[in-house]
Chain A
């Protein structure tokens, strides 16, 4: 009986044509050449944007400075006097400083809010805060 020895021969070699290799190489080369072009375009575009933003920043800074000077001019004494006279203000004829013979608030507590502190005529205040003030204080309402 004959034994067939099948030899483990290697697969037949793949034959790639030179044209395909050349085409692939050209494609890779083209893509490689395109990348810097894309990068440069992006850089230029970004650079233009940066320049625009810098110019805009300088404009805004200049605007801020101009507005500050405008504020100073609008609050100048000459203008204030002119506008005040235009709405009817006059120079005071006399200024009197009064010394009032009443002590100011000396308690440590914060003064009551306007409106709530107005005492009704006849209401006793010497005895302390009113019940509703005590209630508000209890709930820490100011």
Chain B
């Protein structure tokens, strides 16, 4: 009997050992998986379940001086289709394509083909789909279709100030204009959502999640007034159409502050129908009144006369004997109409816009003094308005290799130098502002990531004395009053202005026959409230600044003065009898 018990004992022990080893192995494996390799498996599990999604930040608004939006954003959706999903489920892919066809306004077969033939695993089919349309597509739960919340830029006032506002690209980054220059303010900061989702792709409620809220884009407030801008553009379009011109610009400025109330230029583009494949878009988007140079012509005589008055070398009644020609170095200067006018006062030189008289005045002033005043008026340097791409202008000065004495004569009547329309209006505004040059500016406030910033009017320097400014103003009143059909319609408002008709040089000569006409003036004279520069490029026919540009000034000034409730110089009196 004891032998049998011994055999049972060792078998039992063996079984026990096997079980023990097995259990020990299991326990060891459990320890290895649950404790030693726990972080690795936890990470793997997180990766399988954790998802992240960028939350778009609404792009900020660009508003006019009254807070009315010129460019704003609305929620929209971007539409993606998964090539992989559609390849795996062809039947459902067809169904999905048919569901998308009315939205994309394309045949379903074409949509299917485009997605299946794509190289990328996921294809962007459309951007900026209206919000309601996107939501309805989401509810349909089409196979392989993904909708990502985004935004779309809209322009409530249409395409006004298009080159100034600029536009954004497909990736919602500003490409031109204010959209580009203030992209960091307008873009905002996208948010990020981290969450866990199950095997069906549904977010796990109260699973691990964190959220970085998006920061909406800031707001840029312009000095532009939408009504004045619109009127300026309409009048510019009317003149361009009437005279079959190539383009032009109209700028309206407050001379007291330098605020730009309107900045219109043609040619332009349609903000509401952007075509990024249009090769001309870059050219059309240029802010020409700031970037493009032109020879200002007779408007520049204001600078010549202002300088000479301020230097004391002439008075309004100083006389000049006009023989119709003026000899400057090896060249002969003629009047624009080849007229011979005899004895003329300086005021008459300005009124009749005599090139010979202007050249004579510049000679009396002297080259050094003349170019000093030209620089003081801001020509040849940036105005400092703050928009990139601004041109400083082109000006040859004594001492420079290309300068010759005839430049003094030609520059005196605005030829042989390149200026921007912005520089011209700033200079005329200085006369209106009692001789004080103000920095023109177009952005008045920014509300962005750095908080609220407001930009105040900035005096640059005194260009001419107040007395000189008043004297020149009275001369300009006589110039405006002598216009054939220009400013009569302003009635009780006194206007000070000057016309300009400049030939566009070509190949070093002025025989092209192409001209730029302009008119620069301010009103009312007693308390100047607005300065307007009108510039029309290459009008067709027998046209001059007085017949083309001055009427634009008149029509625009009438509307703007009424809109701003500016009292006239000579009010109508109503008395009780």
- Where the two chains meet, the residues of A that have a C-beta atom closer than 8 Å to any C-beta of B are 43-44, 46-48, 50-51, 58-59, 61-62, 65-66, 68-69, 72-73, 75-78, 92, 94-102
Contact present for A62 and B69 (CB under 8 Å): no
Q: Which of A58, A77, A78, A101 has the most CB of B within 10 A?
A: A77
Which chain A residues border B561 with CB–CB below 8 Å?
95
Which chain B residues border A59 with CB–CB below 8 Å?
135
Contact present for B571 and A99 (CB under 8 Å): yes
On whether A101 and B157 interact (CB within 8 A), knowing A62-B75, A77-B227, A95-B558, the answer reads: no
Closest residue on chain A to residue B154 by CB atoms: A69
CA distance A65 to B73 in the complex (A): 8
Contact present for A99 and B573 (CB under 8 Å): yes
Which chain B residues border A94 with CB–CB below 8 Å?
491
Closest residue on chain B to residue A71 by CB atoms: B156
Determine if B366 is an interface residue (Cβ-Cβ < 8 Å): no
Which chain B residues border A92 with CB–CB below 8 Å?
562
CA distance A62 to B73 in the complex (A): 11
From A51, A58, A77, B205 is in contact (CB under 8 Å) with A51
Contact present for B74 and A66 (CB under 8 Å): yes
Closest residue on chain B to residue A91 by CB atoms: B559
Report B494-531 residues with CB < 8 Å from chain A CB.
none
From A47, A62, A66, A73, B156 is in contact (CB under 8 Å) with A73
Contact present for A101 and B572 (CB under 8 Å): no
- Beyond A69-B72, A75-B68, A78-B157, 16 additional pairs, beta carbon < 8 A: A43-B206, A46-B205, A51-B205, A62-B74, A62-B131, A65-B74, A69-B154, A72-B156, A73-B156, A75-B156, A92-B562, A94-B491, A95-B561, A98-B571, A99-B574, A101-B574
**12 residue pairs bridging A and B, Cβ less than 8 Å apart:** A47-B204, A58-B149, A68-B72, A69-B69, A72-B72, A76-B157, A77-B230, A97-B567, A98-B571, A99-B571, A99-B574, A101-B575
Report B178-214 residues with CB < 8 Å from chain A CB.
203-206
CA distance A96 to B558 in the complex (A): 11
Report the count of interface residues on B (CB-CB < 8 A): 35
Closest residue on chain B to residue A58 by CB atoms: B149
Closest residue on chain A to residue B134 by CB atoms: A62
Determine if B47 is an interface residue (Cβ-Cβ < 8 Å): no
On whether A77 and B571 interact (CB within 8 A), knowing A59-B135, A65-B58, A65-B74, the answer reads: no
Contact present for A99 and B156 (CB under 8 Å): no
Minimum C-beta distance from B555 to chain A (A): 11
From B158, B205, B206, B562, A95 is in contact (CB under 8 Å) with B562
Which chain A residues border B227 with CB–CB below 8 Å?
77
From B74, B157, B206, B576, A77 is in contact (CB under 8 Å) with B157
Minimum C-beta distance from B50 to chain A (A): 17
Which chain A residues border B449 with CB–CB below 8 Å?
none
Which chain A residues border B256 with CB–CB below 8 Å?
none
Which chain B residues border A78 with CB–CB below 8 Å?
157-158
From A43, A66, A76, A98, B572 is in contact (CB under 8 Å) with A98
On whether A97 and B157 interact (CB within 8 A), knowing A47-B205, A51-B205, A59-B135, the answer reads: no
- Where the two chains meet, the residues of B that have a C-beta atom closer than 8 Å to any C-beta of A are 58, 68-69, 72-75, 131, 135, 149, 154, 156-158, 203-206, 226-227, 230, 491-492, 558, 561-562, 565, 567-568, 571-576
Contact present for A102 and B576 (CB under 8 Å): yes
Minimum C-beta distance from B32 to chain A (A): 28
Contact present for B156 and A97 (CB under 8 Å): no
Contact present for A72 and B206 (CB under 8 Å): no
Contact present for B157 and A50 (CB under 8 Å): no
From B69, B75, B226, A66 is in contact (CB under 8 Å) with B75
CA distance A58 to B73 in the complex (A): 15
Which chain A residues border B573 with CB–CB below 8 Å?
98-99, 101
Which chain A residues border B230 with CB–CB below 8 Å?
77
Which chain A residues border B72 with CB–CB below 8 Å?
68-69, 72
Minimum C-beta distance from A85 to chain B (A): 14
CA distance A61 to B55 in the complex (A): 14
Which chain B residues border A100 with CB–CB below 8 Å?
574
Contact present for A43 and B154 (CB under 8 Å): no
Which chain A residues border B562 with CB–CB below 8 Å?
92, 95
Minimum C-beta distance from B41 to chain A (A): 22
From A62, A69, A77, B226 is in contact (CB under 8 Å) with A77
On whether A43 and B205 interact (CB within 8 A), knowing A76-B156, A77-B157, A78-B158, the answer reads: yes
Contact present for A98 and B205 (CB under 8 Å): no
Closest residue on chain B to residue A79 by CB atoms: B156
CA distance A110 to B280 in the complex (A): 63
Which chain A residues border B565 with CB–CB below 8 Å?
97
Which chain B residues border A51 with CB–CB below 8 Å?
203, 205
Contact present for A72 and B203 (CB under 8 Å): no
CA distance A94 to B554 in the complex (A): 13
Which chain A residues border B205 with CB–CB below 8 Å?
43-44, 46-48, 50-51
Minimum C-beta distance from B157 to chain A (A): 5
Which chain B residues border A47 with CB–CB below 8 Å?
204-206
Closest residue on chain A to residue B568 by CB atoms: A97
CA distance A51 to B206 in the complex (A): 10
CA distance A44 to B207 in the complex (A): 10
Contact present for A97 and B571 (CB under 8 Å): yes
On whether A69 and B156 interact (CB within 8 A), knowing A47-B205, A51-B203, the answer reads: yes
9 nearest CB pairs, A to B? A47-B205, A72-B156, A62-B75, A95-B562, A99-B571, A101-B575, A73-B156, A72-B69, A76-B156
